[in-house]
């Protein structure tokens, strides 16, 4: 399994011959190394409905006939636009041909802002567990710290955890470091920072806070094999 980070909360996973994009915010993301026109994901997974996470989902999915996995409200909203979707919700899991996906709780908001400044309700935000090739990847989405992260780690031993550290809208570095302790992941990678002035952080300082010494900063375009 190859996992790469592409700025903000964009994560690409290649497993079982499939390319999976999580929260593909590409156009408008000043930190990403990706160009939307060059991406051809088989699957897109969305943590919640905010524009900086839905991003280029519609155009990517239509051009590549991608399957979009998201909560029921987002799936309905995208389905009305001609996107192929698989609806899920928090606590549910499903076995796909590339692996198993389970949505976990996350504490945040979830709405999509249309060009004419209308807000579309997008259900509850979620974290994402992807289980494939005997490995488990946890993408926390946008969330604050919550104690049931310990339960998530106990129920699904995590090989790689992507945690937001930007503060203001999500956990800051200190809370994210405590989240890493609760999750007990083998490797922790920071995300959702430095895209906007309000979420400016030093990811290397965050890594130094991790008691287990199990953190790694991935610059946009960097990848790991697990």
**How far apart are alpha carbons 4 and 53 in whole angstroms?**
16
**Cβ atoms of 126 and 152 closer than 8 Å:** no
The CA-CA-CA angle for residues 184, 172, 148, to 5°, reads 40
Pairing of strands 126-132, 135-139: antiparallel
**How far apart are alpha carbons 177 and 101 in whole angstroms?**
25
Domains in the chain with CATH codes: 2-225 (3.60.15.10)
Length of the chain: 226
Q: What is the pTM of this model?
A: 0.97
Give the pLDDT band of residue 3 (cuts 50, 70, 90).
very high
Q: What digits encode the pLDDT tens for the residues 49-106?
A: 999 999 999 999 999 999 999 999 999 999 999 999 999 999 999 999 999 999 999 9
């Amino acid at each position: 399994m190859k996992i790469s980070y592409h700025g903000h909360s964009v994560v690409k996973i290649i497993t079982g011959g499939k390319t999976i994009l999580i929260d593909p915010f590409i156009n408008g993301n000043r930190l990403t190394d990706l160009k939307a026109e060059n991406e051809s994901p088989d699957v897109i997974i969305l943590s919640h409905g905010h524009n900086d996470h839905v991003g280029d989902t519609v155009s990517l999915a239509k051009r590549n006939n991608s399957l979009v996995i998201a909560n029921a409200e987002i799936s309905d909203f995208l389905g009305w636009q001609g996107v192929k979707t698989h609806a899920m919700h928090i606590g549910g899991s499903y076995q796909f041909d590339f692996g198993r996906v389970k949505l976990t709780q996350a504490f945040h908001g979830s709405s999509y802002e249309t060009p004419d400044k209308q807000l579309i309700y997008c259900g509850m935000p979620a974290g994402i567990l992807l289980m494939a090739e005997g490995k488990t990847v946890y993408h926390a989405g946008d969330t604050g710290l919550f104690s049931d992260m310990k339960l998530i780690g106990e129920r699904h031993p995590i090989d790689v955890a992507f945690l937001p550290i930007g503060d203001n809208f999500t956990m800051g570095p200190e809370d994210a470091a405590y989240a890493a302790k609760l999750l007990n992941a083998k490797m922790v990678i920071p995300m959702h920072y430095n895209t906007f002035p309000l979420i400016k952080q030093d990811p290397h300082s965050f890594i130094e806070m991790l008691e287990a010494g199990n953190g790694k900063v991935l610059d946009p375009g960097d990848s790991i094999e697990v």
